[in-house]
Copies of this chain bind each other. A is one copy, B any other.
Amino acid sequence: MKTIEVCLSPALYEFHSNTEEYIVVIVDVLRATTSFCAAFDSGVEIIIPVQGLDELLEYKNKGYYTAAEREGEKVDFADFGNSPSVFLKSSLIGKQLAYSTTNGTKAVELAKRNGNIAAAAFVNLQAMSHWLSVQQKNIVILCSGWKNTFCLEDSLCAGALVEALEMSGKFSPMCDAAVASFTLWQNSKTNLAEVVKEANHFQRLLKLGLHDDLRHSFRLNCSNAIPVWNGKGFVDNSERVKAFG
């Protein structure tokens, strides 16, 4: 039996107790990990998370496509913001994308110390939980949050992952945050659209008029993307899973 832990904020990552080999699953429902899935669904080859905008500009100058968001809004010089619905409408086959966001890329930076990283959201819940269930490794779900505070939508997605992984019969939750996330998800899954309206970051993005993104981000299992870290960036492992059967 493998274990599942949940870190409710990047600021709690250093305190998780997993010591054996594990996979860090980054969750940033609004919107980085949802956008990663959308970008892969539109054909992106690799997503390279970048913390600062200076570094992102260097990538742009080297010919990479760039995506960047600060405080929920697109950064001027970038080709894309952090919008899954915009990625879905774009054709990006074979493109390399450098990516910088307020919270998601910070979580990636932390997780890099560990070699095994994946990215999950509601949109790829089934694809990701299936992929995780065949990896035979402990799991630490890292909620990206908002500036190190707890985000309801990330915790709900973590809870949905805990549910799916428990149902595989191969995992059990090993911390209170995993139990609490599971409970929150159980309590919300039949009226998710209503519950997430209470979330601060949902309201923040609503004020920016991002209705399409908000609708898309809570649509379960509409993406087959399995974003997995390859040492340089995230690549889509979905074909490999199919090969595994």
- Mostly helix, strand, loop or mixed at chain A's interface? helix
CA distance A8 to B7 in the complex (A): 11
The answer to whether A187 touches B183 (Cβ under 8 A) is: yes
A175 at the interface (CB under 8 A from B): yes
CB distance from A170 to the nearest CB of B (A): 20
Q: Mark A149-173, 1 if CB is under 8 A from B, else 0.
A: 1111001000000000000000000
A15 at the interface (CB under 8 A from B): yes
Chain A, 185-210, CB within 8 A of any chain B CB = 186-188, 198-201
Residue of B nearest to A201 (CB): B176
The answer to whether A148 touches B15 (Cβ under 8 A) is: yes
Q: Specify which chain B residues have a CB less than 8 angstroms from the CB of A147 in the assembled complex.
A: 15
A12 at the interface (CB under 8 A from B): yes
CB distance from A106 to the nearest CB of B (A): 13
Q: Specify which chain B residues have a CB less than 8 angstroms from the CB of A11 in the assembled complex.
A: 9, 11-12, 15
Number of A residues contacting the other chain (C-beta, 8 Å)? 28
A180 at the interface (CB under 8 A from B): yes
Q: Mark A68-109, 1 if CB is under 8 A from B, else 0.
A: 000000000000000000000000000000000000000000
A179 at the interface (CB under 8 A from B): yes
CB distance from A211 to the nearest CB of B (A): 20
CB distance from A150 to the nearest CB of B (A): 4
A184 at the interface (CB under 8 A from B): yes
Q: Mark A139-152, 1 if CB is under 8 A from B, else 0.
A: 00000000111111
* 18 contacting pairs across A/B (C-beta < 8 A): A8-B8, A8-B150, A9-B11, A11-B12, A12-B149, A16-B149, A149-B175, A149-B176, A149-B177, A150-B177, A152-B180, A155-B180, A176-B199, A176-B200, A176-B201, A179-B198, A180-B180, A184-B184
